[in-house]
Structure 1
């Protein structure tokens, strides 16, 4: 076993191996599960919370579905069905874009904003709980580095060849 990299002798799928994809997936999945369980009584999902947060932080006139898709790092079909359910619940409204008839402009409603405020409190408390394993200085450093890694991952995805449809 190498002193500089003890992970080299571990099997590729070992939970003890410090590899970015499994660590990110485990962290994301566990955090998503915790949030899902905590907000379940509201009828909302973590993706719906993320959409509400994104719309709350966006231009008050709303954003397009394409912009929401990009900001949520998702795909158009997922966002379309997510918005359909949210619109039925009265949390968002979709209107045809003023200048691009193919696009929709999405806005959060008063009902959606109220729900978001409740969900935000749950999410903030969960984040505080999870990050409490780090001291304050390490929290800031961790989040800054994680943002850098997230940006690098997005850049890698943007610069990768798209899959050809058959």
Structure 2
């Protein structure tokens, strides 16, 4: 693709602007739907990953999902405050703190998944299946180009001595 002259480009028609507008619209819809749980999309996302991956440190989550350590720390503190997450010392490296979901957190994630499925249906209902599949594939390519291919989140510290 050839470079376009920035002086002749219509700002509102650029991919980055359209994506930004769509992301903001979807974010507002997601957050409004999640208000009943008292969590943000980031907080729910981290809770979902703790459910799927088990106990992890804030650093593991930060590294694995390309979030700032401060954002992860703030989100985990909130999850702990509302009773969704518990912290415990790492069994081998006692200075490392691991977070895991509580029973209340597991129930919250279950409800959060249902809410997100409903929002997903709402925001994607304007697209046909092939449009949606193409958009998802394209956005995955963009993400991989910037962040690299999606990998699995691995704890930095093993859970037992080797």
Range of TM-score over shorter length: 0.7 to 0.9
Q: Which runs of 5+ in 1 are unaligned?
A: 156-166
1:123 equivalenced with 2:122 (yes/no) = no
Evaluate the alpha carbon distance shift between residue 137 and residue 6 of structure 1 in structure 2; reply closer, same or farther with a 3 A threshold.
farther
Q: Which runs of 5+ in 2 are unaligned?
A: 149-162
TM-score (normalised: structure 2) = 0.79
The whole-number CA distance in structure 2 between the counterparts of 1:80 and 1:140 is 34
The whole-number CA distance in structure 2 between the counterparts of 1:34 and 1:72 is 22
The 5 A counterparts of 1:1-166 are 9-11=8-10, 14-15=11-12, 17-20=13-16, 22-59=17-54, 62-155=55-148
TM-score (normalised: structure 1) = 0.77
- Any idea what SS the aligned residue of 1:9 has? coil
Q: Which structure ranks higher in relative contact order (CA pairs < 8 Å, sequence separation ≥ 6)? A: 2
Q: How many residues align?
A: 146
CA RMSD of aligned residues (A): 2.2
- Any idea what SS the aligned residue of 2:127 has? coil
- Any idea what SS the aligned residue of 1:93 has? strand
